[in-house]
Amino acid sequence: MPEGDTLARTAAGLRPWLVGRPVLAARTGGPGAVPKVERVVGARVTAVESIGKNLIIRLDNGLELRTHLRMQGSWHRYRPGERWRRPPGRARLVLEVEGSVAVCFDAPVVELFEQRAELVHPSLSALGPDLLAEDADIDEAVRRLRAAARAAVPIGGALLDQRALAGIGNEVKNEALWQAACSPWAPVGDLDDAMLRRLVELGRGILREGAETGRRPRHVYHRAGRPCQRCGSIIRLAHQGSELPRPTYWCPGCQGRGPDG
């Protein structure tokens, strides 16, 4: 699943080609087709932004488009008439402006709604602080992680909860926990505020590096069976979470406890 830094780079890549230009044509298809997407035709794009793992396209007629790419989705930009790199049948949203065609493939979530509804949007309004925002509220992210309902939740799962803090995905989670020498299975309630703050700040730093350079550190992620770069112990892999188990990589030597204690 694309993480916050990937969405930030996607927004940055689309912005020069869309912002300030009127939409000449719009169409949608496949699962999650957007009703009345033609309402954006003639409107001028005013902004392309990422909020956590969401990409938002704002228009000057008071509407906005939201996509969430989940595991398989992606945005592409083409010149008019250029051959697409994926089959047209996989296009969920197509926006044409002068000189460019922006295509969102395979995204399970594509929405059109009024900008004034963003404050009460069931997903956007529930997001925690966006760690890639210039004014990201670290204190609020720590406060949300510290909520009583998360006390028994393993920190490896809590860091992925976009209602606590927005932008961190599985790879960044693994790397931040390794850098902090923190067990992914430690319950949030067992960690002090200093550790929670360190994890939030490390996650933010990794996301910012990824947004700026397109690269992330790889100390543990996809390194199961290889020696830890810090202590030499063998990196292990286990799946974490009940609703959507995610691969968790950790070093039992310097991060301590595993899923079996």
Read off the pLDDT band of 113 (50, 70, 90). very high
Q: What is the mean pLDDT of the chain?
A: 95
Predicted pLDDT of residue 31: 75
Confidence of residue 212 (pLDDT cuts 50, 70, 90): very high
The CATH class of the 4-126 domain is alpha beta
Q: What is the mean pLDDT of residues 36-62?
A: 97
Angle between helices 170-179 and 193-213 (to 10 degrees): 130
Q: Is the dihedral of CA 59, 9, 7, 158 positive or negative?
A: negative
The amino acid occupying position 236 is R
Catalytic pick from 53, 58, 66, 204? 53
Q: What gap in Å lies between CA 29 and CA 31, rounded to an integer?
A: 7
Q: Quote the percentage of the chain above a pLDDT of 90.
A: 91
The answer for residues whose C-beta is within 8 angstroms of residue 57's C-beta and 6 or more apart is: 14, 18, 45, 47, 48, 64, 65, 66, 95
Domain ranges of the chain: 4-126, 138-250
Query: Which DSSP state fits 60?
Result: T
For the cut 70, the answer to whether the pLDDT of residue 1 exceeds it is no
Does residue 246 have an active-site annotation? Answer: yes
Cα–Cα nearest to 3, from 49, 53, 45, 77: 53
Asked if residue 32 has pLDDT above 80, the reply is no
List, in order, residues 6 or more apart from 242 with CB less than 8 Å away.
none
Catalytic option among 3, 64, 96, 171:
3
Is 35 a residue whose pLDDT tops 90?
no
Q: Residue 71: what pLDDT? A: 83
CATH match for 138-250 among 3.30.300.210, 3.20.20.70, 3.90.1150.10, 1.10.8.50: 1.10.8.50
Residue 122 reports pLDDT greater than 90: yes
User: Could you say which of 58, 150, 236, 246 is catalytic?
Assistant: 246
2 has catalytic annotation: yes
At 193-208, the pLDDT tens digits run: 999 999 999 999 999 9
Does the annotation count 3 as an active-site position?
Answer: yes
Residue 185 has pLDDT above 80, yes or no: yes
Residue with structure tokens 């990589």? Answer: 249
Q: pTM of the predicted model, to two decimals?
A: 0.93
- Residue 39 above 80 pLDDT? yes
Write down the pLDDT at residue 201.
98
